[in-house]
Amino acid sequence: MAKYIFVTGGVVSSVGKGIAVASIGTLLKSRQIKVAAQKNDPYLNVDPGTLSPYQHGEVFVTQDGAETDLDLGHYERFIGIDLTKASSITTGQVYSSIIEQERKGIFLGGTIQVVPHVTNEIKRRIKQVAEVSGADVVIAEIGGTVGDIEGLPFLEAIRQMRRDEGRDNLLYVHVTFLPHIAATDELKTKPTQHSVNELRRIGIQPDVILCRSDREMPKEIRDKIALFCDVDSEAVIPLATSETIYEVPLLLEDAGLADFIVSHLGLKAESSDLDDWRRMVYRLKSPKELVKIGLVGKYVELKDAYYSIREALGHAALFHDREVQIDWIDSEELEGGHYDRLKKVQGIIVPGGFGYRGIGGMMEAATYARVHKVPYLGICLGMQVMVIEFARHVFNSSDPDSTEFNPTTLYPVIDLLPDQRIIADKGGTMRKGSYPCQLLPGSRAARSYEVVLVHERHRHRYEFNNQFRTRLQEEGLVYSGVSPDGLIVEMCEISDHPWMVGCQFHPEFRSRPNQPHPLFRGFIDAAKDVLIDESQAPLPLPQNT
Ligand code: GLN
């Protein structure tokens, strides 16, 4: 039977609950305990798929195609597991399924209430994670902050689970924040006390209080929190802001959190093996030469929108003993050929995206990369941009386009697949989740992956249009990855270029700190030796190239 760790947050949001969950997972896994993780988001949206990146950051895609919160990315990267749909729930999902059942008459005319119907559905979905994963321990994070109105049903559900599962089989971790008062140079515990009181009012007494702060926490503060909040002193865990998020598991390990959890839950555990992780963090923190990458996108002021890409670049750079420095370039800034910032980077990455805004600038970035032979990695939209740009050059016309941006183009090099057009409902046509991709031996893609068949995660609607396959191939576009039936172009590259590779999928979701993704590794490998000569004016670009 699985055991549960519930992680709630108090005092302020953005206090690092997701990293805490991921780190606890790392520590338990290092003791050979099988772990799964789940994010419970109390908002009413059914999933983050349609939420604006401005409000919600990146949409993380699981291998089974769920569009989820970016915290799942932390869980996967830290714990080194692939999660499923079951690991992401929202109030929207919970209510939709209850209302659907109600409409079918499944409740036989009973009155549907938050308790027990909503709470039962939440509990069912939490337990489902244990079932589908077969994990020994499920770590479930409750989004938001204690005291939020919409979070109440979730807190009530996890409170009830103490009775359902037995109090020895679950553990409540509350993550709070200790503000620092400069005038007296002290960390304050009062907000933590209030937040714990609020949690108790709902019926939950935390077993562990994880105290995030920007300064080291002195022992007397630890004792004070233990006394006022009625937890063991060793269960008040300090978590001072660290240089890198990957250090958090080590800080929690050294503070004794995992040992406390193992003994509290009576888990069968091996001794912890964090040697590789420690080495990785040590290398991460040591000074390294920079590799400068320009990321050209439309949400660059909000770096969370490209969270997994940023991490994947960092993992790959570390592999090559470099530190990545990303220049976040707003694609609209490049429109009209303002290449100055591109001159100062060793590689260009164009990430995924939807809609027309900023496409012109991405196109300029692809032209610049192609003509100046700068390493380029195009992800999803970034591959489509690369194909369109190449076609404009080949046909010597500015008309080639994606039908997403120009439905009447004479050269729809990126288009919906024929059977997709029939489905009017936009949401229904998206290709999501993991699909196989066969690599072309000898291509840059195959050389990076070092295997011939890979499975990568998708989230897009448009595809490379096969009508143009032969013509573009004749001109030097190489289809380095195709679906095993040969029908869908999944990857392409420019033959006459050191490293210009596009992929229709999102490799960033599979990168791990100790296992960088092969494509990012290949990209950084090509970029790291590019010499930047800022004094040199960029070569004039021919019209329509
Ligand atoms: N907008 C493009 C499509 O729908 C690309 C999507 C993406 O980059 N994720 O196909």
Quick: pLDDT tens for 221-242.
Answer: 999 999 999 999 999 999 999 9
As a whole-number percent, the residues of the chain with pLDDT over 70 amount to 96
Please compute the mean of the pLDDT values over residues 477-494 and round it to a whole number.
Answer: 97
Active site residue 506: yes
How does pLDDT run across 83-120, given as a tens digit for each residue? 999 999 999 999 999 999 999 999 998 999 999 999 99
Ligand 1 centroid to Cα of residue 379, in Å, is 9
Mutate to test the pocket of ligand 1, among 462, 464, 465, 488 (most ligand atoms within 8 A of CB): 462
State the DSSP code for 467: G
Local confidence band at 427 (pLDDT 50, 70, 90 cut-offs): very low
Q: Is the pLDDT of residue 421 over 70?
A: no
List pocket residues of ligand 1, CB cut-off 6 Å: 352-354, 380-381, 384, 404, 459-462
Confidence band, pLDDT 50/70/90 cuts, at residue 535? low
In this structure, which amino acid lies at residue 226?
A: A
What is the rounded average pLDDT of the residues 301-309? 88
Query: Does residue 48 carry a pLDDT above 90?
Result: no
State both tokens at 210: 């994880």
Among 232-236, 310-314, 427-431, the range scoring the smallest mean pLDDT is: 427-431
Least confident of 21-25, 49-53, 379-383: 49-53
Could you tell me the domains of the chain?
Answer: 3-280 (3.40.50.300), 288-414+428-527 (3.40.50.880)
State mean pLDDT over 293-311: 91
Are 7 and 175 in contact by the 8 Å Cβ rule? The answer is yes
- 342, pLDDT greater than 70: yes
Report which protein residue has its CA nearest ligand 1's atom 6. 460
Q: Measured in angstroms, how far is the CA atom of residue 352 from the centroid of ligand 1?
A: 6
In contact, 15 and 176? CB cutoff 8 Å: yes
What is the pTM (predicted TM-score) of this model? 0.93
Q: If you average pLDDT over every residue of the chain, what do you get?
A: 93
User: What pLDDT does 538 receive?
Assistant: 54
Q: What is the 3-state secondary structure of 81-94?
A: CCCCHHHEEEHHHH
**Choice among 380, 437, 492, 503 that is catalytic:** 380
Per-residue confidence (pLDDT) for residue 17, from 0 to 100: 94
- Weakest-pLDDT range from 293-302, 365-374, 533-542: 533-542
Q: How confident is the model at residue 424 (pLDDT cuts 50, 70, 90)?
A: very low
For residue 12, the CA-to-ligand 1 centroid distance in Å is 34
**pLDDT at residue 293, rounded to an integer:** 97
348 closest CA partner among 376, 367, 371: 376
Q: Cβ distance 112 to 98 under 8 Å?
A: yes
pLDDT in tens, 433-478: 999 999 999 999 999 999 999 999 999 999 999 999 999 999 999 9
- Look at residue 61 in the predicted model and tell me its pLDDT: 96
Residue 239 has phi, psi (to 5 degrees) of -140, 85
CA 2, CA 212: separation in Å to the nearest integer? Answer: 28
